[in-house]
Each structure stands twice: as C-alpha cells, then as structure tokens.
A and B are shown apart, each in its own frame.
Chain A
C-alpha cells in the first residue's frame, strides 16, 4: 500500500491510495459515514488499470474535524477487526 495525503484542511481530507483493494477503503468510508458530523465520506477508483484510489472526507467543522473523524473511524475499524478475528478463532 502506498499512501499520500493530497488535501488537508480542517473540514476536508483527500487521500490517494495505491496498490490496495478498494474493499478496504469501502469499509473505512462506511464507518466514516456513520460518524456524527461527517457530511460526506467516499472513495473512487480513478482508473481501473492504474487502481489509484481516492478517499475523500468532508465534515462539519463545528461538530468534528476531518482529521478527528478519520482517527475515530480507523480506531473503530481496528476494534471491529480485532473482535472479528476473535470470533473466527472461536467458531
């Protein structure tokens, strides 16, 4: 995975991700969308041959900054994957 933050403002973050499965960013976007104060979270595949992915997060800065939302979402996603791994070991 190669990653670069192209836009970084209080209310908006844009991240370029290379060499990664889009389903990973899809998971992150879905978690972000469920966070209070996030106005938009989504990703796009710039071109299917280059597989460059662009993740964009827009928030209402009065409620939460984009940076905080991203951190919160990543922590939540990591928690879920830890729980998931435990459950898979149990079954």
Chain B
C-alpha cells in the first residue's frame, strides 16, 4: 500500500515527510541521517520509513499500462 499517514505506534504524523525522505535517500544520503535531519526521533516512527516498500507504485504502473478502458454502453 501507500506510505501510512501516521506512525502505527505513537500516532505522530509522518506521511508529509515521506517524499522528501525518498528524494534524499535516492540521492545517496544515509537513511538514518536523513531521518535525523527530518526530525524523526522515536524508533517507532523511524521503522515506518526504513521498512516501507511503496507497493502501490506497482499497482499504479500496472494500471497505467493495462488499466482503465472506456466502457461502451
């Protein structure tokens, strides 16, 4: 699925920092240091980022290729 809006354990808002995190990690920065710079302190929130896989992107690319066809009446 998509990245969760809140941390499962403490309930803090985390989704607003996800795209910045991905951008920085893809540029080659160390994930742990990126999380420090984003101000994600607790380990419950940190594992949300570190262990997430954006599975929904695959669904979207599937639908982009083979998806919606205009249904005829």
Per the CB under 8 Å rule, do A and B touch in the complex? no
